[in-house]
Amino acid sequence: MTATPTTGRKPRARASSGPLVIRRGRRNPPRRRRRSLTLTVLTSIMLVYTLLPLVWLLINASKTQEGLFDSFGLWFHSDFALFRNIADTFTYGDGIFTRWLLNTLLYVVAGAGGATLLATIGGYGLAKFDFPGKRAVFAVVIGAVAVPGTALAVPTFLMFSGMGLTNTPWAIIIPSLVSPFGLYLMWTYAADAVPDEILESARVDGAREFQAFLRIGLPLLAPGIVTVLLFTVVATWNNYFLPLIMLKDPDWYPLTLGLKEWNSQASTIGGETVFHLVITGSLLTIVPLIAAFLLLQRYWQSGLAAGSVKE
Using one digit for the tens of pLDDT, what is the confidence trace for 71-80?
Answer: 887 888 888 8
Report the pLDDT value the prediction gives residue 77, as an integer from 0 to 100.
Answer: 84
> Does the pLDDT at position 11 exceed 60?
no
Mean pLDDT, the chain, integer: 84
Q: Residue 5's pLDDT band (boundaries 50, 70, 90)? A: very low
Residues 80-100, mean pLDDT to the nearest whole number: 92
Q: Check residue 70 and give its pLDDT.
A: 83
What per-residue confidence (pLDDT) applies to 13? Answer: 46
pLDDT for res 76: 84
Nearest to 246 by CA among 62, 66, 111: 111
Residue 20 has pLDDT above 70, yes or no: no
What angle is formed at CA 293 by the lines to CA 58 and CA 190, rounded to 5 degrees? 155
Mean of the pLDDT values across residues 25-30? 56
CA 107, CA 98: separation in Å to the nearest integer? 14
At a CB cut-off of 8 Å and minimum separation 6, what does 144 contact? 180
188-201 pLDDT, tens per residue? 999 988 888 999 99
Q: What is the pLDDT of residue 149?
A: 81
* pLDDT bucket at 301, cuts 50 / 70 / 90: low
Task: Indicate whether 123 pLDDT > 70.
Answer: yes
Exposure string for 263-292, b = 16+ CB within 10 A, e = fewer:
bebbeeeeeeebbbbbbbbbbbbeebeeeb
From 29-33, 179-183, 252-256, the region with the lowest mean pLDDT: 29-33
- Which string of b and e fits 28-38 if b means at least 16 CB within 10 Å? eeeeeeeeeee
d(CA 176, CA 195): 31
* Cα(8)–Cα(3) distance, integer angstroms: 9
Q: What is the pTM of this model?
A: 0.81
